Amino acid sequence: MFKILGLNCLATAYVLSVMNLDGVKLGDFQATISGIFTAAFFLFISHARPLPTLSAERPHPNVFCSYVLLSLLGQFAVHLFFLISSVKEAEKYMPEECIEPDSNFHPNLVNTVSYMVNMMIQVATFAVNYMGHPFNQSISENKLFMYALLAAVGFFTAITSDLFRDLNDWLKLVPLPTALRDKLMVWAFLMFLGCYMWESFLRWAFPGKIPAWKRRQRLAAANLEMKRL
């Protein structure tokens, strides 16, 4: 949960600060849809039930550990590279124009690509960092969360492929050139795959350990029990 919050905050902060200075903005309807998906994801994550049997593995005792920090930095680097590369690619298809940071939102290719990329980063963040087995239900067992993820992926595919022009017009999204659309779909998959592989590697390399104070406490309790016997 903490990693999901951190990654969402980092990506949003970059969009609302650095990219905003370049004139990149989100429309009201776009921000509303993103907020609805985020709220649904958090709601359905909270419905995940713990498994009935305890696992021999242990969760990490705090957020200030190598696993969490490396996971945040690695995934954010992948997200940032995907975001910047996509926006730079979109700028190649736009005429040279100076967009003032304080100007009102108007649909253009860069704003459209920025929204689509942020949407996919949001979905990947929740899917990759969901903590299932051996502590909670897996994604496939948490049906509501799984359906919400599938709905978000379907939504991203629909708006990127321009399957429903009326929907894109309502969201103020302009049509994408075919080459750019194909690149976005491939890059989005590679971004998800990169984050998933990085997270899986870190979970293997930095397993949760019992804190030292707890080991000492258990050892003292065991010694006390031996003395009683």
DSSP per-residue string spanning 100-119: -TTSPP---HHHHHHHHHHH
**Total tally of structural domains belonging to the chain:** 1
Residue 90's alpha-carbon distances to 56, 71, 83, 181, in angstroms, are: 49, 29, 11, 10
Q: Hey, how many other C-beta atoms are within 10 angstroms of the C-beta on 211?
A: 13
- What pLDDT is recorded for position 212? 61
Q: What is the pLDDT along the chain (229 residues), one digit of tens a residue?
A: 788 888 888 888 887 776 776 667 777 788 888 889 889 998 888 888 877 777 667 777 777 888 889 999 999 999 999 998 998 888 888 766 656 666 667 778 888 888 889 889 999 999 999 887 877 888 888 899 999 999 999 998 899 888 888 888 888 888 888 899 999 999 999 999 999 999 999 888 887 666 565 666 666 666 777 777 6
- Residue 75, burial from CB neighbour count under 10 angstroms (0-12, 13-18, 19+): buried
The amino acid that residue 129 corresponds to is N
How many whole angstroms separate alpha carbon 168 and alpha carbon 146?
Answer: 25
The single-letter DSSP state of residue 175 is P
- What pLDDT is recorded for position 203? 86
Q: In sequence order, which residues have a C-beta less than 8 Å from that of residue 139 and are 6 or more positions away?
A: 127, 130, 132, 145, 146, 149
- What pLDDT is recorded for position 211? 58
Q: Hey, how many other C-beta atoms are within 10 angstroms of the C-beta on 35?
A: 10
Residue 67's domain comprises 2-228
- 168 neighbors 175 (Cβ within 8 angstroms): yes
- What pLDDT is recorded for position 187? 93
Question: pTM of the full predicted structure?
Answer: 0.82
Q: Hey, how many other C-beta atoms are within 10 angstroms of the C-beta on 86?
A: 23
